[in-house]
Structure 1
Amino acid sequence: MLEKNVTTFIACDKPYDEAEFVLWGAPFDSTTSFRPGTRFASSAIRTESFGIETYSPYLDKDLEEDARVFDAGDLELVFGDSERVLEQVKQMTQIIVSDDKIPVMIGGEHSLTSAPVSVLARHYPDLQLLHFDAHTDLREDYLGNPWSHASVIKRCHDLLGDGRIHSFGIRSGEKAEFYWAKEHLDMHKFNFDGLEDLVEQLDGKPVYFTLDLDVLDPSIFPGTGTPEAGGVSFDELRIAITKLAGLNIVGLDVMELAPHYDHSGVSTAVACKIIREILLTFSK
């Protein structure tokens, strides 16, 4: 008898009822400020994931044995309607959280992060946001659009308020954004200095982790819509993620791969490996 052909991220094929994590794709890039293409990320990541091993020699863990992840596929999102798409993402997040599972969103553009943050902030009134990125993303709006990916952390601040957003790797933004951040955010420019101290401070608190992959240097990760020179290395990012192992992660996302800008496929391979390390790091 033939079986239904379903492509999942490698080894993320556990039954929903048994899953700790629910991984799903959000193929949307209507507000990108430079180069579009992140809507192709989740499908490329699933396909290319079969080029990496399920076993992590860094963590001595295996996705087959040490993680319980259900891949729910991609949402069918309305192209060009940011507010409607955000509602769709909220609905998906609510289903997963209501079933006492951890949502793992694969973007797609970074603007979508505000949707799961809004849902989880209702479930966890003391929610903290941990943010790895090249960009401040603190504009009130971009070309009149308050839901732009250049405004996503400002929208998250609208939800969470001062002192609950912790940004690392930031190296690009308007002067006004950096000065605003000094008053309202916990921002660490250029690298992950201060991360270990923060992990101690966040012990026991619910944390949403958002990773914009352009935190990586474009020499390692050119496949993104807004590349910024001067980023971190793969190992620096991997080690930083490992340091988060003790946190109470209640949701996370990995955003902003635009696979077609790297015809070698290396950027997608890097994204796949980072997702593997994240899932294994946070698996109970």
Structure 2
Amino acid sequence: MIAFIFNSLVLSGSLAVVAAHAGHDHLHHSNDAIGQIPLSGPNEMPVIFNRPILEKDGYIPSFAGISTFAHLPYLQCWEEDANEDYDIAVIGAPYDIGVTFRTGARFGPSGIREGSKRIKGYNNELHVNPFKSWAKAVDCGDIPFEPFDSEQAMAQIESHAKYILSRPARPTHSKLNNGIPRLITLGGDHTILLPVLRAMREAHGRPISVIHFDSHLDTWAPEIYNVKAKGSKYNHGNPLYHASKEGLTTNGTSLHVGIRSSLYDKDDIARDEALGYRMIKANDIFTLGVDGISERIKEILGSPDDALVYLSIDIDVIDPSMAPATGTPETGGFLTREMRYILRSLYGYNIVGMDVVEVAPAYDTQAQLTTFLAADLIYETMSMMVKYGEQKH
């Protein structure tokens, strides 16, 4: 019985070898393919594998592909030999060392990119397709930084942002902002605003008017947290305190929009005004309406002729019923359509940079409500950036 089984296995193996050689021979003589690739071992005669013709479809579904923001081309912007130019650069800053409540914003950049997959076309409200225009937009990936030391990490975020903004101008667009690219940053917690504004101030050579969409002031003095702790100096509750002290923001034409949180102290508002900021509260929507809020923002900004505007959007400016995935949620915020309407009303201003911060995907619903919204707000702003450039050419 054993001998019978052995002989059967030997016979089967022999037949398999014969079949394999027959198959190889058939492939060798086939004329149905365009490429022939030799496959052989070290002491074997080469066997020719005929590669079939691949029919390619020009349409790629939105849900497919590696996640860059809105399917933008990926460019290794920090490589010394990456000499490509661009007009709009998207970068990720997955930093959340400065969080005071719920952590997780370090996963914001990847979440926002995932939420942007369906975005690729025409903005029907602003009448522009930001992906088919004069502007070359790229996704530079995430800034590499030290995740254990906040000051070292902030220095790295600042230096990488400066490097992005110092790219040579594209020959046909060198007169727009002196050829300085527009910067879109995916946060991270709100601490990242400070190093980015430092880079913006140096690149443009003057303070920037900041429109700060948030439920919190983010101008709290460092001593509110712990004056003895060196690490408390910089956190997501005080980037605009430092920005004002360092002369990064314009005095009187920078503002907060959507404020509604409780304050640490009754003097917080007085300190905020002394730092040069103006305030529009979330509840002002009941008296002013969305158009009134839009007009109030433009009144504070002043004429768009010479203004350089930076938008910093903390996702918690939106009510947590529509954007739950954030570290410090506050009830009573704007609705998503209100926020997008207010953003679009800023069309005509020279928006030189923007960020969306405090997106913590771990707290989102399975429907990805918050990351979709964050991506949409960036899309609206990118559309305005491109539309502004169209007018200037």
With normalisation by structure 2, the TM-score equals 0.67
State the distance in 1 between where 2:323 and 2:317 align: 9
Aligned to 1:143: 226
CA distance in structure 1 between the aligned counterparts of 2:307 and 2:162, rounded to whole angstroms: 20
For CA contacts below 8 A with separation 6 or more, give which structure has more relative contact order: 1
- Aligned: 1:171 with 2:265: no
User: Which runs of structure 2 are paired with 1:53-64 in the superposition (5 Å)?
Assistant: 53-64=120-131
1:78 maps to which residue? 146
Give me the CA root mean square deviation.
2.2
Aligned residue for 2:267, secondary structure, equals helix
Alpha carbons 1:14, 1:69 under 8 Å: kept: no
| Residue 175 (structure 2) pairs with residue 110 (structure 1) | no
Indicate the residue corresponding to 1:255 in structure 2: 357
Q: 2:43 aligned with 1:43, yes or no?
A: no
Q: How does 1:98-137 map to 2 (within 5 A)?
A: 98-99=166-167, 100-122=180-202, 123-137=204-218
Shift in alpha-carbon separation, 1:126–1:270, aligned structure 2, 3 A: closer
Identify if the C-alpha distance between structure 1 residues 52 and 126 changes in structure 2 by more than 3 Å, giving closer, same or farther: closer
Distance change (3 Å), C-alpha of 1:60 and 1:14? farther
Task: Tell me: CA distance 1:164–1:58, structure 2 relative to 1, closer, same or farther (3 Å).
Answer: closer
Larger radius of gyration: 2
SS at match of 1:56: coil
Task: State which of 274, 278, 286 in structure 2 corresponds to 1:183.
Answer: 274
User: 1:203, CA displacement in angstroms?
Assistant: 3.4
> Post-superposition shift, 1:34?
0.6
Task: Give 1:65 deviation, angstroms.
Answer: 1.1
Q: Is the 8 A contact 1:12 1:68 kept in 2?
A: no
Residues 65 and 218 of structure 1, relative CA distance in 2, 3 Å threshold = same
Same amino acid, percent of matched pairs: 30
Q: Is the 8 A contact 1:11 1:64 kept in 2?
A: no
Residue of structure 2 in register with 1:23 after alignment:
90
CA contact (8 A) 2:304 2:348 kept: no
Q: In structure 1, list runs of 5 or more residues that go unmatched.
A: none
Give 2:70's aligned residue. 10
What code does the residue aligned with 2:68 have? T
Q: Decide whether the 8 Å contact of 1:54 with 1:276 is kept in 2.
A: no
Report what 1:279 is aligned to: 382
Alpha-carbon contact 2:121-2:131 (below 8 Å) kept? yes
Tell me the CA shift for residue 271 of structure 1. Answer: 1.0
Stretches of structure 2 lacking an aligned partner (at least 5 in a row): 1-64, 78-83, 168-179, 285-289
Instruction: Indicate if the aligned counterparts of 2:131 and 2:137 stay in contact, CA closer than 8 A.
Output: no
C-alpha contact 1:103 1:251 (8 A) present in aligned 2? yes
Q: Supply the distance in 1 between the matched residues of 2:304 and 2:186 (Cα, whole angstroms).
A: 24
- Residues 206 and 73 (structure 1), Cα distance of their counterparts in 2 relative to 1, 3 Å cut: same
Which has the larger displacement, 102-111 or 166-175?
166-175
Structure-2 separation of matches of 1:48 and 1:163: 35
Task: Pick one of 28, 34, 44 that aligns with 2:101.
Answer: 34
Please tell me the residue identity of whatever aligns with 2:259: I
Moved more, 185-194 or 34-43: 185-194
Superposed CA deviations along residues 135-191 of structure 1, whole A, max 9, x for unmatched, are: 011111233412010111101111226424311111123232222123332222225
Partner of 1:223: 325
Tell me: CA distance 1:214–1:249, structure 2 relative to 1, closer, same or farther (3 Å).
same
Shift of 1:120: 1.9
Structure 1 residues 221 and 85 mapped into 2: Cα distance closer, same or farther (>3 Å)? same
DSSP-derived class of the 1:93 partner: helix
Write the deviation string for residues 50-76 of structure 1: whole angstroms up to 9, x where unpaired: 134533333233243135311000112
Give the deviation of 1:18 after TM superposition: 4.7
